[in-house]
Structures are given as structure tokens and as C-alpha cells.
Amino acid sequence: MQLPVITFPTWLTIVRIALVPFIIAAIIHDQWTVAVLHFFIAVITDFFDGFLARRWKQESALGAALDPLADKLLMLGCFFTLAFVQTSAFQIPRWFFIVLLAKELFLIIGFLILNFLKKEPFIAQSTILGKLAACAQFLFVFIVLVGQFFNMHITGMYPISLFLILVLTLSALVQYLYSGYRFLVR
């Protein structure tokens, strides 16, 4: 069995995955400069891995699988830390993290069931709502980290931001469920 060739864009995705524990540790230890720097690098790799893969025609199955995994690890890791670990940052409600985690687990289980029930593979396509939800999550974490870095506590906007993220996330879930349903009944 031949191992997949790891392209430069895929290496960027691997770097993003590797940064997750460092970002979490920095948040836990109130090292906001490190957290902001690593998170910013992770966001930059997220942009460039897909852009370069398409531009250089280096799209791969490995990269396509690792990219959403990297995004989920980064976001869930940050939200878990902000919900369950006592830091000087604004602490988000634990139920909020549980909703985000449940949505991801629900999608994974649904994906596996669809691929088990049908003879053809189900290829999950990202949606506008899914991208908006992910963007809102990234932006929220970035604002929290930068706010801590500059010692600016703008907690008044956090509940509104969390509500927006929740609406976008649940709307994306409904959209993905509908897509899975359409695949199942065709």
C-alpha cells in the first residue's frame, strides 16, 4: 500500500492541527500573546491551504479530509477551553460548547449512516450557512483572544455573538440534514 503524497497545502493543514494544543495551553495559562499569535497563524494556514491547493492544483483526498478536521479541532478546542477551563477570559456557557459538539457528532454519525445505507459515497458539501457559522466562530474566538491580549473586556457583545453563532450553527445543521435526507431518498 502506497502512502499518500503530502502536498504543501496539506502540510499547512497539519500545522494548523499541531497548533491546537499550543493555543489551548496558552489560553489556560493566560499567555494571550502566544494564544493570539498561534491562532492567527492557524487562521492564515486555513486560508492558504485551500487557496494554494486550488491554485496549484494540489487538491488531495488527504487534504480534503484533514481540512475540516483541523477546523473542528481548532474551534472545539478553543470553545471547550473557554467553557470548561477557568481563565481570565470571558467564560462561555458550557451548554453552548455541548451544542457545538453535539452538532459535529450528529453530522459525523449521519455521514457514517448515509455511507453505510447507500452503495455510493455521500460527499458532504460545505454550505453558505456552514461557512458563515464557521466564520462567526473563528471571529468570536479571535475577538476574545485579542480582547484579552489588549486587556479590553468587551463582554457586553459576547451574548449577542454567541446567539448569532448558535443561530447560524443550528441553521447550518438543518441545511446539512436536508442535504443528507435528499441523498437518502433519491
Instruction: Write the pLDDT tens digit of every residue in 68-82.
Output: 999 999 999 999 999
C-alpha to C-alpha distance for 7 and 84, rounded to whole angstroms: 36
In this structure, how many other beta carbons lie within 10 angstroms of the beta carbon of residue 132?
A: 17
Residue 2 is assigned to a structural domain of this protein = no
Q: Give one DSSP letter per residue of the chain, joined into a string.
A: -PPPP--HHHHHHHHHHHHHHHHHHHHHTT-HHHHHHHHHHHHHHHHHHHHHHHHTT---HHHHHHHHHHHHHHHHHHHHHHHHS--SSPPPPHHHHHHHHHHHHHHHHHHHHHHHHSSSPP-PPP-HHHHHHHHHHHHHHHHHHHHHHTT---GGGHHHHHHHHHHHHHHHHHHHHHHHHHHHH-
Tell me what pLDDT residue 65 has.
87
Q: What digits encode the pLDDT tens for the residues 9-68? A: 999 999 999 999 999 999 999 999 999 999 999 999 999 998 998 899 998 888 888 999
Q: What digits encode the pLDDT tens for the residues 77-119? A: 999 999 999 887 778 999 999 999 999 999 999 989 998 988 8
Q: Going by C-beta distance under 8 Å and a sequence separation of 6 or more, which residues neighbour residue 168?
A: 129, 132, 133, 136
Q: Look at the chain and report how many structural domains it folds into.
A: 1
C-alpha to C-alpha distance for 20 and 42, rounded to whole angstroms: 8
Residue 118 is assigned to a structural domain of this protein = yes
Query: What percent of the chain clears pLDDT 90, i.e. is strictly above it?
Result: 67
Tell me what pLDDT residue 41 has.
97
Q: What is the CATH number of the domain that holds 50?
A: 1.20.120
Which structural domain, as residue segments, surrounds residue 49?
8-185
Q: What digits encode the pLDDT tens for the residues 123-154? A: 778 899 999 999 999 999 999 999 888 888 77
Residue 31 is assigned to a structural domain of this protein = yes
Contacts 24+ apart (CB under 8 A), 38-43: 39/78, 39/141, 39/142, 39/145, 40/142, 41/15, 42/15, 42/16, 42/74, 43/138, 43/142
> Which among 99, 91, 75, 106 is positioned nearest to 166, based on CA atoms?
99
Average pLDDT score over the chain: 91
Residue 50 is assigned to a structural domain of this protein = yes
**Residue 1 pLDDT level (bands cut at 50, 70, 90):** low
